[in-house]
């Protein structure tokens, strides 16, 4: 009876419906809508501070990162970031403010909803690519995983450039394989335009963009290769080059700076072994199911026009010392589509697997159980909650001249997401060394911007830390206690090395007594 129930459940999940693309769209939309409303905060540093803080400050007439040349003084220099994706957020924020929406949290719900809608392209196009590579049943299952894989809805609503570029790559790859005889001039041109737009979002996808061109040349399709190259060049020239001409007076200024910076900082952040991304792929798709995906991808290098760019992107990033997990995200859906469809062809044609159907069903039950639990957790996870809430509460405070980020226990004060406070000009003073003279540092600030709010990061040794701060700033009044989110608490419980970041927001209530310099003789 138990096995029969398992078979019925798997058949219910995996059997193809009458209108698979419509059903997939609905199935994909539901968890993404949940994540858009309930998975607040931000995932990593870059999806907030390199996108939201910059665009949000521009919409308020400020320049948080000092990326704009007219705010850099006499010797302006590009920052090495594409303004295309950030600029789209700026347009959204300006539009929302024009209709009266001012609350940063509400604006971010709208942004996450837009991201969720954009991510549906990945599911629909992934299903169409799988349909070209296999049959309707395998394509349905491929789309089902793209819709409901535990990390997909969570990442889809974030503001990572590595995720926002994926639909462009998927659309380009679908165009490359629409014609069974190979991409002709028009399809190759349109494919190049889509992939060129991906480069405007994420510079590093230029490594991916080289793959289809190489594949077409290897296959002797010169016309297709030239059309594809022209397609890639069109959006890069019209968008990236035009933006840099307007801002810096020369084309590709930001791209050039990006290349120079990364060449000079190959090991500044991380220096991981070459196989690090293979381990990531073996983990992100849930072992042991992930091993089937890896086997399928490397088993069949076809179609070459979309297999080669994925391999090229993986190989170059594996060679480069600075490896961060998010760098590989642009190829994750395509890697899965290619790997899963290839694996299914192998499994269904394998005598061993046909004789051991229960083994595959058991693996699927395990995979779907882990995936379901992780999916629910991530869709409801308010990441970096305490940092966001600490800033949001300051938005409603009348007198906030500046903030002290007190983290003398850990010694690494996190950057505050000022977007949620709506206060771009308040001073921020990190205090990470207990032996440093805080009062002397605050005395440098003029009265109008001298920090009068203290954020205590973490509750470790809190009494001693509060006492030291009180001696420097006077009595402190508690404003708010910002608690970490569910996922942050779970990660801390699994490994206490990961900090459970509760933040105490306090205000100095006594008049500040500045340090007086010693009289000169």
Instruction: Give residue 249's region: left, alpha or beta (phi > 0; psi -120 to 50).
Output: left
**C-beta separation of 515 from 443 below 8 A:** yes
Looking at per-residue pLDDT, the higher value among 417 and 264 belongs to: 417
Q: Which residues pair with 428 in a beta bridge?
A: 403
Q: What percent of the chain has pLDDT over 90?
A: 78
User: Is pLDDT above 90 for 499?
Assistant: no
The answer to whether 341 and 141 have CB atoms below 8 angstroms apart is: no
More confident residue, 10 or 168: 168
Q: Is the pLDDT of residue 315 over 50?
A: yes
Confidence band of 518 (pLDDT split at 50, 70, 90)? very low
Strands (E), 318-475: 402-406, 427-431, 453-457
Mean pLDDT of 43-72: 94
pLDDT of residue 494: 73
Nearest alpha-carbon partner for 177 in 344, 302, 22, 314: 302
Rg, Å, the chain Cα set: 26
As a whole number, mean pLDDT of residues 432-436 equals 93
Reply yes or no on whether the pLDDT at 469 is more than 90. yes
Tokens of 355: 């004789």
Tell me the pLDDT tens digit for each residue of 371-400.
999 999 999 999 999 999 999 999 999 889
The answer to whether the CB of 205 falls within 8 A of the CB of 197 is no
Residue 39 pLDDT greater than 80, yes or no:
yes
pLDDT of residue 19: 87
**pLDDT at 149 exceeding the cut of 90:** yes
pLDDT at 181: 66
Query: What band does 520 get if pLDDT is binned at 50, 70 and 90?
Result: very low
- Residue 198 pLDDT class (50, 70, 90 cuts): very high
Please classify residue 330 by burial: count the beta carbons closer than 10 Å to its beta carbon, then call 0-12 exposed, 13-18 middle and 19+ buried.
buried
* CB 394, CB 421: distance < 8 Å: yes
pLDDT value at residue 513? 87
Domain definitions of the chain by residue range: 28-260+269-379, 385-508
pLDDT of residue 7: 61
- The per-residue pLDDT for 478 is 95
Q: What is the pLDDT of residue 415?
A: 93
Average pLDDT over every residue of 346-368:
94
Average pLDDT over residues 156-168: 97
With 90 as the cut, is the pLDDT of residue 267 above it?
no
pLDDT of residue 11: 63
Q: What is the band of 521 on the pLDDT scale with cuts at 50, 70, 90?
A: very low
CA-to-CA distance for 492 and 469, rounded, in angstroms? 27
Instruction: State the average pLDDT for the chain.
Output: 92
What's residue 136's pLDDT?
95
User: Which of 34-48, 258-272, 367-381 has the lowest average pLDDT?
Assistant: 258-272
Nearest Cα residue to 232 out of 182, 176, 177, 179: 176
DSSP 3-state percent helix, strand, coil across the chain (nearest 5): 65, 5, 30
pLDDT at position 517: 54
Q: Quote the pLDDT of residue 519.
A: 44
**Block residue for tokens 């959204």:** 92
| Mean pLDDT score, 185-206 | 95
Q: Is the pLDDT of residue 492 over 90?
A: no
What would the two tokens of residue 32 be?
Answer: 């993404």
96-118 pLDDT, tens digit each: 999 999 999 999 999 999 999 99
Q: Would you state the pLDDT for residue 127?
A: 97
The secondary element (H helix, E strand) that includes residue 479 is: strand 476-482
Among 218-227, 309-318, 511-520, the least confident range: 511-520
Which helix or strand (DSSP H or E) is residue 455 part of? Answer: strand 453-457
Token duo for residue 57:
């400050």
Question: In this structure, are residues 13 and 368 in contact, taking their beta carbons and an 8 Å threshold?
Answer: yes
| pLDDT confidence bin for 263, thresholds 50/70/90 | confident
Q: Determine phi and psi for 92, rounding to 5 degrees.
A: -60, -45
What does residue 379 show for φ and ψ, rounded to 5 degrees?
Answer: -65, -20
397-424 average pLDDT score: 94
Res 440: pLDDT: 94
Q: What is the mean pLDDT of residues 191-197?
A: 97
Of 143, 337, 308, 150, which is closest to residue 218 (Cα–Cα)? Answer: 308
């Amino acid at each position: 009876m138990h096995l029969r129930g398992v078979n019925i459940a798997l058949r219910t999940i995996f059997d193809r419906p009458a209108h698979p693309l419509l059903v997939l769209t609905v199935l994909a939309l539901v968890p993404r809508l949940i994540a858009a409303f309930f998975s607040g905060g931000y995932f990593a540093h870059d999806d907030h501070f390199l996108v939201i803080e910059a665009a949000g400050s521009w919409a308020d007439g400020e320049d948080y990162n000092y990326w704009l040349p007219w705010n850099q003084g006499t010797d302006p220099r590009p920052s090495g970031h594409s303004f295309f994706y950030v600029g789209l957020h700026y347009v959204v924020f300006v539009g929302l403010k024009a209709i009266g929406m001012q609350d940063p949290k509400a604006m971010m719900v709208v942004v996450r909803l837009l991201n969720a809608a954009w991510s549906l392209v990945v599911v629909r196009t992934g299903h169409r690519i799988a349909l070209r590579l296999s049959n309707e049943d395998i394509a349905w299952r491929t789309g089902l995983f793209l819709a409901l894989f535990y990390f997909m809805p969570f990442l889809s609503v974030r503001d990572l450039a590595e995720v926002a570029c994926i639909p462009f790559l998927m659309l380009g790859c679908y165009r490359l394989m629409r014609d069974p005889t190979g991409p002709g001039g028009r399809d190759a041109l349109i494919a190049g335009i889509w992939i060129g737009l991906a480069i405007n979002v994420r510079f590093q996808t230029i490594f991916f963009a080289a793959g289809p061109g190489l594949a077409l040349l290897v296959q002797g399709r010169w016309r297709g290769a030239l059309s594809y190259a022209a397609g890639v060049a069109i959006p890069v020239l019209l968008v990236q080059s035009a933006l840099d001409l307007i801002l810096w007076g020369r084309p590709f200024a930001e791209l050039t700076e990006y290349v120079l910076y990364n060449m000079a900082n190959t090991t500044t952040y991380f220096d991981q072994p070459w196989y690090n991304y293979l381990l990531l792929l073996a983990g992100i798709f849930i072992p042991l199911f992930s091993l089937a995906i890896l086997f399928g991808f490397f088993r069949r290098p076809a179609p070459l026009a979309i297999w080669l760019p994925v391999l090229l992107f993986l190989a170059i990033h594996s060679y480069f010392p600075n490896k961060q997990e998010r760098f590989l995200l642009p190829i994750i859906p395509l890697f899965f589509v290619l790997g899963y469809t290839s694996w299914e062809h192998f499994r269904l044609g394998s005598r061993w697997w046909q004789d051991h159907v229960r083994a595959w069903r058991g693996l699927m039950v395990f995979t779907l159980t882990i995936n379901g639990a992780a999916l629910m957790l991530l869709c409801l996870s308010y990441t970096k909650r305490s940092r966001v809430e600490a800033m949001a509460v300051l938005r409603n405070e009348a007198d906030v001249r500046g903030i002290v980020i007190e983290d003398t226990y850990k010694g690494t004060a996190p950057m505050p997401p000022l977007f949620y406070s709506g206060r771009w000009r308040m001073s921020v003073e990190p205090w990470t060394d207990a032996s440093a003279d805080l009062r002397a540092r605050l005395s440098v600030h003029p009265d109008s911007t001298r920090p009068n709010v203290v954020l205590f990061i973490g509750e470790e040794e809190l009494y001693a830390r509060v006492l030291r701060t009180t001696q420097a700033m006077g009595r402190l009044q508690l404003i708010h206690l910002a608690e970490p989110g569910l996922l942050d608490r779970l990660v801390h419980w699994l490994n206490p090395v990961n900090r459970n970041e509760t933040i105490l927001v306090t205000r100095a209530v006594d008049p500040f007594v500045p340090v007086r310099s010693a009289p000169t003789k």
